[in-house]
Structure 1
Amino acid sequence: MNVHVPVESESGQRSLVTLAALALLVGGVAGLVGALFRLALQQADRLRDLVVVWAQGRAAVGFIAVVALCAGAALVARWVVRRFSPHASGSGIPHVEAVLHGEIPPAPFILLPVKFIGGCLAIGAGLALGREGPSVQMGAVIGHLTGERFRRNWADCRALLAAGAGAGLATAFNAPMAGAVFVLEELVQKFEQRIAIAALAASSTAIAVAHLLLGDSPDFLMPPLDYPAPAIGPLFFVLGAAMGLFGVLYNRILLATLSAFEGSRLSGETKAALTGAAVGALVWFSPRLAGGGDGLTLAALAGWQDVFVLPFVLLVRFALGNASYAAGTPGGLFAPMLALGAQAGLFFGVVFGLLLPGVDIQPQAFAVVGMTAFFTGVVRAPLTGIVLVTEMTGSVTMLLPMLAACFAAMLAPTLLASAPIYESLRDRLLRKN
């Protein structure tokens, strides 16, 4: 039987195939840029550690050198943003969301080098910022420019922009599924078939390219966890509710810190330099507390326990993360959030173990679930959080506790009518434009 395919259907199929092919290209380029960004950050971290080791043998002169170096790097990062691409400030995810919703125009190419260089300077200086924000925004720029270069319509450019952003997240955390889910759940906030196809294509090639440079092991290798006993199941609901309330507090203080920084009469560069100087002082006394927080996350997942030290670490990282983001340099929120969630979850696990000595409790399990629950409480993207943490840890035994905790972490801020952080940041961005 001969089946007649309408011309419009054939045209639509050709358009979809073209979109898919371009998405594969976008993913490959975004994966390359994201992998190079990660490698550059690794070198920046090593350089910072070497400088600290050198400086600590030189007493006051060494201390001043570390503080000045961190302050100078943050200052230059902020100046580059102000001078060449203001939208490169901060995470970049609110900007990507606003573009996808048609509220502001896409960023030009200049944002890409500004985000790359500024991110290396700021994160390399030790500010508590994540690599994923720059990777997402750079991937979005690559996607949109590819669509324009091949003269695609706005719908295809939009799909490629979203796909590039997802590829950036996938590369930042070696989590391709999370990159695709993030596009649908957070960036466009609905299922669009063409965007879903583009996102899956871009994330797959991004990871294929990134693996050539970074390897294919999960970001956080950890020993296998046992399936939690049914008796401790209710504790994950408690943890989730606590992480949801912690997320509300985090969002409110972050927004208040941004308002305080913006209300200051000091120039943006001065505020960034002062923040960098404070980070430099922290780096001098405790290097492991600075930076994106991957080391702290790894320590939590390894079960590092000190019920008296953990609250101090949480407090320092909480304050450092807010100040670092408010400084206006390039850098994201995800990595610092995951570190906070892991530390808070570990603290709850240790406390539960002390309160219930007869129950077999793995504090590391609460660290893993805490990462997901806190992410959900802040961002309100539970599927992204679950997939992201599962891919980063390579562990599937915590899926059921994650679901329970994310339910409670989603419910608490919703009942309190607290807006997700990226929605609030996008509103602030639109008010400025």
Structure 2
Amino acid sequence: MLRWAIFIVIYLALALYTLQALKAATRYPWVYYLFIALSLLVLGNFIYQFTLGEVPGRVLSRPKSYAFGFLLTMMAFQLITILFLFSEDIFRLLAGIYHKFFGVTKTFTIPERRRFLSLLGMGIAAIPFGALLYGMYKGKYNYRVLNYDLEFDDLPSAFDGYRITQISDVHSGSFDNREKIEYAIDLINRQKSDVLFFTGDMVNNKSEEMHPWKQLFATLHAPDGKFSILGNHDYGDYVDWDTPEAKSQNLQDLMALQKEMGFDLLLNESRYLQKENDRIAIIGVENWGRGGFKKAGDLKKASDNIMKDDFKILLSHDPSHWEDVVINDEYHYHLTLSGHTHGMQFGIEIPGWIKWSPVKWRYKYWAGIYKELGQYINVNRGFGFLGYPGRVGIWPEISVITLKKKV
């Protein structure tokens, strides 16, 4: 209860400070009242969804997700506006101290400086405010197909030009637009890749979240098969289950669902893909993540039935596994496919110029292709979304990787 009281006080203080900027920028009272009403509505909805509207089992429901999204949007506007207004207040405070101690009676002021800074602050704050709203309205379904050509000296000749489609982090419990998901599934199929890999987090928490989408995802097609692994959210670790048996049953149900949809779920296992007289090994590990995430992945066990000199593609949900374990393993894993980070669903990407997201402060390898010690990883930016119900700058991704034999 104390945490809620502290949060409410801070939020209202930010809102009142921002209101001062509005009063400096405009003389229309209806603007003040509209801002006050929106601020209270966003706060009230957030408190309701996370208290009285709480879904049993600590599940992050869609209403809670949107409540968080609107709160984030409003607070981003407030904080950026306040930065400008606060700088003016600090200047006035320091000037007042200077005048008092040095007996200065005349003060130099820029006419309407406070109004100018208020307008400037709100103008700049409007950019993330609008971007976050756009991210919730359209950005989360702004699917992008990203194509990569990767060359290998030891790629078996029959696999030269072999096409892989990777998707990751579906988070089906967050979906709220069937038409957009149908479009995305069709977009995946239109890539006409040889094989399809899904690298974990089919659901947010419970297997039942996938029920409305099961038949749709069953239409995904690849001639050489569909392979999948588990992500940290698939185990149901973020739900308060009534019994351990209920949690275990949920995982079994999710595994069965994946099979029904045509996925070959790899649980620390391997498979071979054969073309003519050549083959490549597909290895799938359970989730292994740094920083408190489940470490069920067992690379040694998953690779028991493959040869050291095989060409290997590893499916591992969390890219920290690649950094901490895979690239230094005695086996050479030519290509690892991961997800997990979502690119934080927020950032700036201009191909060839800039790729930035706050998630880079936690994950060294957070989006796209990286190469270390002659081994590649692709960190897929994710198909779905979680928490903030949108995406800004880091769009949902369908990765298409073409394997090439270096000549």
| Structure with a larger share of its residues in strand | 2
| Structure with a larger share of its residues in helix | 1
TM-score, with length taken from structure 2: 0.28
Between 1 and 2, higher relative CO (CA 8 Å, sep ≥ 6) is seen in 1
